[in-house]
Chain A
């Protein structure tokens, strides 16, 4: 594979995590405009742990995921009782606050004679763990794909379990779910923490792939893109968000024909697609249909 293809595939993998976090919330009936904030928390935290304190990447990723989960749990605590657009706006407000806090964050220390760390709007340079440890781009792609496979396996296990049915129940008919004795607030807080951890994992991988991050990487555009990925791919299966990311980054950015008109083509396709399939390509009905026919 040439470097360009590896780069595109790695990006598909990275953004799949944040798309999956938006998907998880959508399945539980919540619309978030703010998953970019937890992606950003993961990116900054992961970068700080490896580049400034010399932690190994796996440990830094675990710590960053914990922080992402904690952050979304804390944001969800006062807001998950809100409905629809109210919740969506509270996530947007939280995410814009996070972006501004990243702009205000000046926290640098000297590492091997070089000043490293977040420098406000100037961004955070030199997150070089994978280069310092001689990891080739193809191996990094392997790591990203491996982690994605683990996450997807987790999704499929949950979907087949009682918990999966509970999640869809809470998402589609919260009153009925509550009448069956399900503690909706608790389920949603758990979903929020898991979504925060997922987005943060994507962020850590993104920061180490790019070696440089800046606050505007984590603006509302990323958040709404992840939502769009989850929705066009389909809300019936965890493959849906992946399909959404592949459609956008893979088919359009990868094919150089559309490159200049990428947003015009993609935007029109999304709007048209949603007219015919408002819950995405792989929606619940399509997934049932496929399941009945596949071995």
Chain B
């Protein structure tokens, strides 16, 4: 019993690390733009399919595939930013969200037209047996995922808290009007944050796909929903909140799947979000979001 609990906790933390990365990307965009990017997951899926296509046609190493995933996601993100967010700055939040959803449909149809099979194999991060520690096992790819997530968080923290660009991002998040008056070029910050968030999403997408060893077009919706859930649970626009929300969602899912099965696992995650929203818990209603 205790062994199961510990094993589930380990599994939950490793998938939670991927959720945390997805939530970080979402929350970065939300923090500066005050808009949810619904095609975030679709852009990640597009990046992963670019890598899959390269792998099928030319065969490529793991690192190169990771680089292509990130590059594809950033490219897709740039397209989304130009068409959905740049025209609606200071304008309608609903228009930006619906436009980003429209591009989600484009990405989904594009990948299914170019690669029509429902499921493609993706080179796995690690093929061997999982590591064993006494009664517990730890998948090597889960360990890599966790390590990469920590490294990405550290890099992001360094960028946001130790560079001039990071200072500008935080200033825009806190007080856009004052930041603009202080001479910060807002469009410049928006574009770079979008690229940064897309790159983080690309890393998360690569890790998820490579640890599953396969890819389907469902990845887009999956990333968007998990990223949104983790971001909301941790508090909109809060970076530490995104990490905590992602890990909490991973743990919640791992334990509820073990005790109640996969359908109830998803039900419980949404129920928790609904109840927390309805109860208006203070950490979810951050200043930057209201």
Contact = CB atoms under 8 A, between A and B. Distances in A.
Nearest to B221: A220
B109 A103 contact: no
B35 to A, nearest CB: 8
A78 B87 CA distance: 34
B267 A100 contact: yes
A149 interface: no
B105 A78 contact: no
Contact of B102 (A92, A96, A220, A271): A271
B95 A82 contact: no
A83 B232 contact: no
Contact of A96 (B106, B236, B266, B289): B266
B91 A272 contact: no
B270 A278 contact: no
Nearest to B274: A93
B263 A270 contact: no
A90 B106 contact: no
B274 A94 contact: yes
Interface in B240-279: 263-264, 266-267, 270-271, 273-274, 277-278
A221 to B, nearest CB: 8
Contacts, number: 125
Contacts of A224: 38, 98, 101
Contacts of B109: 261-264, 267
Contact of A31 (B84, B94, B232, B290): B94
Interface string A77-114: 01101111110111011101100110110000000000
B156 interface: no
Interface residues of B, number: 46
Nearest to A227: B98
Contacts of B113: 260-261, 264
B103 interface: yes
A228 interface: yes
Contacts of A231: 94-95, 98
Interface in A191-235: 220-221, 224, 227-228, 231-232
Contacts of B99: 270-271, 274-275
B44 interface: no
Contact of B98 (A93, A268, A274): A274
Interface in B38-66: 38
Nearest to B104: A267
Interface string B64-99: 000000000000000000011001100111111111
B277 A82 contact: yes
B263 A103 contact: yes
Given A78-B278, A85-B289, A278 B266 contact: no
B290 A79 contact: no
B94 A26 contact: yes
Contacts of A266: 102, 105
B102 A93 contact: no
Contacts of A260: 113
Interface string A271-290: 11011001100000000000
Contacts of B110: 264
B108 interface: yes
B28 to A, nearest CB: 15
B162 interface: no
Nearest to B224: A220
A271 B277 contact: no
A89 B277 contact: yes
A84 B38 contact: no
A90 B104 CA distance: 21
A96 B36 CA distance: 18
Contacts of A103: 263
Q: Which 9 A-B pairs have the closest CB atoms?
A: A78-B278, A263-B109, A270-B102, A267-B106, A278-B95, A267-B102, A93-B274, A263-B105, A275-B87
Given A104-B267, A268-B102, A271-B102, 16 more contacts: A79-B278, A86-B285, A89-B228, A90-B273, A92-B228, A100-B266, A224-B38, A228-B101, A260-B113, A261-B113, A263-B108, A267-B102, A268-B103, A270-B99, A274-B84, A274-B95
10 contacts: A90-B278, A93-B274, A97-B270, A104-B267, A220-B225, A224-B101, A263-B109, A268-B106, A271-B84, A275-B99
